[in-house]
Chain A
Amino acid sequence: DTAVSQTPKYLVTQMGNDKSIKCEQNLGHDTMYWYKQDSKKFLKIMFSYNNKELIINETVPNRFSPKSPDKAHLNLHINSLELGDSAVYFCASSPVGRFGYTFGSGTRLTVV
């Protein structure tokens, strides 16, 4: 069983569209995250969410919004996609506390 699963693995879309990336974890973790990896492989936190608190990286445009229907899911919705949004997006989860981080396999988003 995949611990942290993301769908889709690849997403190609046109500028201006709205898209969502789904993430599910079956580890029973309390906190979930979204990270963005750019073309230089640099990983940067976008959001963390634990059902009680949403922490947003202030550099993330408000076109990006996390949505969590329950503790096991944290989806990423992106409005009005731009060319610069092209990247690999990783979902991750951790138990309460900072240890035991587990990453998904990533979603490669290409905006054309």
Chain B
Amino acid sequence: GESVGLHLPTLSVQEGDNSIINCAYSNSASDYFIWYKQESGKGPQFIIDIRSNMDKRQGQRVTVLLNKTVKHLSLQIAATQPGDSAVYFCAENYSGAGSYQLTFGKGTKLSVIP
């Protein structure tokens, strides 16, 4: 949902620890979800995606979990590194709307403590 007027949630993690970033999405009909990473001064970069017919997908050091029952998405980052410090966004899309526009959730700022 929209986060205008709210502070950006922040997660601080020690280097080497695992990070879990959570996202509540808004449309129960959404069938495609993406996680993006946005570093300071840059545009969002694709990390990993998942379709609604799956509940888990793994990439390199990252895992996305999808719980459609409670409309919840999480991103797990293993062995967090300083280069992982960024703002992370989840985004959703509903193919039935006939549009490819992504609806973004509010971001979470990840700070990695060396």
Contact = CB atoms under 8 A, between A and B. Distances in A.
B27 to A, nearest CB: 14
Interface in A36-50: 38, 40-45, 48
A95 to B, nearest CB: 9
B104 A43 contact: yes
Nearest to A95: B100
A105 B42 contact: yes
Contact of B100 (A38, A41, A43, A98): A98
Contacts of B2: 42, 44
Nearest to A45: B101
Given A90-B43, A99-B49, A105-B42, A41 B95 contact: no
B100 A97 contact: yes
Given A42-B2, A43-B44, A103-B43, A31 B8 contact: no
A55 interface: yes
Contacts, number: 65
A9 to B, nearest CB: 9
A38 B2 CA distance: 11
Contacts of B99: 48, 55
Q: What is the predominant secondary structure among interface residues of chain B facing chain A?
A: loop
B107 A41 contact: yes
Contacts of B44: 43, 90, 103
B100 A42 contact: no
Contacts of A44: 2, 104
10 contacts: A38-B4, A40-B6, A40-B8, A41-B109, A44-B104, A45-B103, A48-B100, A90-B44, A105-B42, A106-B41
Given A43-B107, A45-B102, 8 more contacts: A4-B43, A40-B3, A41-B109, A42-B104, A45-B103, A98-B93, A98-B102, A103-B43
